[in-house]
Structure 1
Amino acid sequence: MNNSEQPEANVTNGLDDRPNATMFTVENLVNMARSGEIRIPHFQRDFRWQRQDVVRLFDSIVRGYPVGSLLLWRRPATAQLLKLGSLEIQAPDVSAARWVVDGQQRITSLASALIPEASRDPRFALAYNLRDQEFVPAPPEDEPLVIPLPVLFNLTRVLQWFQKFPETIEYIDRANNITQTLRQFQIPAYEVTQNDVKVLQDIFDRMNNYGKRLSRAEIFSALFADDEAIKDRLTFDKISEHLDEDLGFGTVDNDTILMAMLARRGPDVKREIRNEFGGKEGVPRGHQPGRAIIDFPDEARDTAYKLGETAMRRAIAFLQEEASVPHIGMLPYRHLLVVLTRLFAHHPNPSPRNIRLLRRWFWRAAVVGPEVFKGSTTGAIRFLVFAVKPDDLTGSIQELLRLVEYPETPTPDLRRFRSNEAATKTVLCAWWANMPRSLDDGNPFGRDDLSRVLLDRPTALDAVRYIVPRNTVPHEYRLWAANRALVPIMEATSASIEPLISQRPLKLSETAWRAALASHLISSEMANLIITGQTVEFLKARQTALQTQLTSFLERMCEWSFESTPPLTSLLVEDLAEEDGIA
């Protein structure tokens, strides 16, 4: 399609019949999902909600708030292995299935959280805390007053729960009320009968796009969707899933995945995406006049997705193993992952020296930030991606280093701890490099611990605990990093770890306990300050220790005082080439 051409608007004759308005209880919807009566049309987006969105849905239901209406399309459906969120169903032939045109996220969340075999997925593994009257992540082991949603949704299982924990009998009426509310809550729905799929696509487009812009990744996915029903065909959501499941890196958002894939294929990540695959007949895509340079002009869509994921894996492995960035929630800037993806796509096996130089570049770029580039992040990603040349690894890394040569850049301010800010993410990476240990058993935390706690969270907030309760800290010190610790534990019952510091667990020797405290930059003297209630003195002492550790970490990673000499092998090759030229 030429740039001047516009796609023809879909012209439809409207619905064959007017929509039929009805009400479904949550119990109805869950039963229909379990039986395979509910289906997802191919033009629907993948499931996008995160755990907090699912929590909000259930919280709205128990409060009696409206949760919106559904639009369902009545038409036949063939037998298939159906995946609805984390729920897999061997669905039979259905003569009048209900295909979800609007309401996929809500129906998927209800079914996945309330059906036992689906609720193991961390996004849907929820429970209701009867004492605090709130929805919370399901604990790893049974807690009497924290009832998993699949139990709470079934009256018989609720009664069995209270028989198992008779000491909680005073809460049975509250549990029964929540059960009844969940089961009987009504959601309005419109049902249409229509043979022309274009009409339903038109409705879907109007409902989702009018007044709300799609993200660039969603537009790209829709443009090159083709037949996504093909088994094992990669999508951005599947790539994100693989990176999290295999590497424990967390959920990489689709827009970052799109930019990484575009960067691998060509340096201009802001290029026109509608013409990404395939050029004019007889003219290779990368050589069309006036078009962006594409390094892989004849590459098909599926190949691009597959090799893009491979390059992202290499980039993430570098971050985790070489740069002390274990999880995307601790990655200072996501555009740096895009640059690394391009580099590892074209240069998959850098030498140890180049790996060291690349780590040096990464942390210098993280500390300097994108503000030094014209246009901030947009300018940074443009300059940095263009610096990576497909046929010159040494030159690429040298140019990357030149672009971030600002040795006077100050270290992050420890007086402001915000988990969504790049400076704090840098601090967290420094803490991770110190190999934090459990204050309960003394064992070092691993990436798996982070992955389990953070799930799909965009920041590392859920892995951070206050050392002393926040409300006991004078206001001027409340944002200090000194009152935080990186303690990724699922079973945390309190945001504060003061009890773990105030008293050594019996199963830990004095030496092991001191080592665990030291891994969080807490000395025995600091622990005594907490025990004796000298909170401000503790914060000041630990802030000093944290500053020393952060400075040491960044000196080791950035290596500002070192010469960025290329690997010896590349220098020898250049010398030989010059001699050949002279001869």
Structure 2
Amino acid sequence: MFDSTKEDLRDILRSAEEGRLQLPEFQRDYVWGDADVRSLIASVAKGFPVGALLTLETGGEIEFKPRLLAGVPAKDVRPAELLLDGQQRITSLYQATRSTRPVRTRTPKGTEVERFYFIDIKKAVAGGVDFEEAIIGVPADRVIRRNFGREIVCDLSTPQGQFEADAFPLNLVFDSRDWFYDWRDHWRARGRDVGDLERDFHRGVVDRISRYEMPIIRLDKRNSREAICLVFEKVNVGGKKLDAFELVTAIYAASGANLREDWAARRARIIGAPNRRDVLSQIASTDFLQACTLLHTRELRLARAAELMQAKGKIEVKELPQVSCNRDALLGLPLHAYQTHADAVEKGFIEAGSFLNEHKIIWHKDVPYPTLIVGLAATFAILGRTAQTAAAKEKLARWFWSITLGELYGSSTESRLARDVPELAEWLSGAGPHPRSVDEALFQRDRLGSLRQRISAAYKGLHALLMRSGCRDFINGRPTDLMTFFNDKIDIHHIFPQAWCKKKGIPPNVFNSIVNKTPLSKASNIAIGGDAPSVYLRRIEQRQGLSPEALDDILRTHLIEPAHLRNDNFDAFFAARMDALAGVVVAALGKAVVDEHGADEAEEEVAAEEMAQEMAEAGDMDNTVELETA
């Protein structure tokens, strides 16, 4: 629902000055460069189109907190319209043609400056001259200097100086009569007739600017919340997409709530200080909103179900509102609902971090899917202590590993999450069966051979499951916990080193799989070097004073058969460890792995450079092991 028309620039700028046309408060300030301002002025002065404006009628379904355009004198006025698109054009034109204050702009070097703009009358009416050359930008004191400010080139700070230079102040273009009277009188007293020059300048410049019309598309206040927010997203200045959090922040601001400050305080508590929860360090504002929205929409669904049951004695699913956490649902989250659920959701995120740490997911890069944290947080927020019993956490773990090892959140994440959380809450509270995701999760045994990078959820999951099972470091013999993970720089490293595998002609797509990797400290990885396992095991025993039996016990905690390493038998090692890892998957999923071969979609190998970069970012020293000596 919109209307398009044309309106005089004069009236548009007057509306901005009186506060009837304002900006939505969250629109970012953005200062145009001097060249942009000059080009805009020149286009208007020549009557060229500079694009349509887009405005929104206020008083509709949602109210955004307004603010005056930059440069407009302060006043307490309720706007009739909000300027959605055209902020820089109208702000620049207002400051240049109507304001008594200078225009805020930037030099080509990016330095912010204040300038007044004048038009050189003689150049403006001369033929064969680019109009932009006639536009004079001067400092805020209206004095042009050179030689490091010591020499005045032109002083336009007084009317007399302007008259002498035939420089018309652009900010008088809509009320120029007195200035031209005084200009004519000034030169008449000196025997110069500027009548023809004035006439040509009026016709060629002043009249075009003062009569300039701009097309306006006006959005009716009856447009829906989703439609209005979509428009904001599309026209936002600088092309940077506004996320749902920014839009909800703007909506809440109209009610006096500062969502940005509230989130900043909650995020600090969620991440924790001084003991930082690294696994939660990448939580985004929209993640928090998603969890709140899941609780709110679930609450609406339950309330509607109770109404139907009371009225009809039965419930038809099609009559119930959907539980959702998609963008539209986030934009529709009322302030009162956010305030109702925010505290429980905050605690839910903290509990989710503890749950992940219990399962040895400690580093944020090892989170299988960030959305899983939202699901965990929402579930803990809904159930509170009910979700913290041993029985509930066992169920929660089964769901978590089903999503992770079954790689179920690779697409349609929001719809799956909205389905899983209510089902999970009912299952954990004993009111319903297990979530459908538990049934849908499948793990194909051959997948172990194709898991090669940390970008795979199942790769991260197996890394965590090995640590959870109690694998101990080759050198210090310690299992992984919060302290050792970071202090010992635990990461996933090759068992049969890359350098050795390459010499033996083993393909990278084989030796780089999760089957040939295990969690180790940086010190252990360096000790391994690029040598055969039989060599580096003896080296570790000698340097650490370990007996072969003691080191073999450590190897078994990694599901490694020691004899295969001591005999440098890669094939036997690979087959045995694949069986062992398949057993870990079975235990986590509570169901057998699938032995069938094939895939629904062909997978391409990632370029070696990309893989090296990804592993280097993850801290995998095996990529440079050939440069090290152990």
The alignment's TM-score, normalised by the length of structure 2, stands at 0.46
The alignment's TM-score, normalised by the length of structure 1, stands at 0.50
- Higher Cα radius of gyration: 2
More helix by share: 2
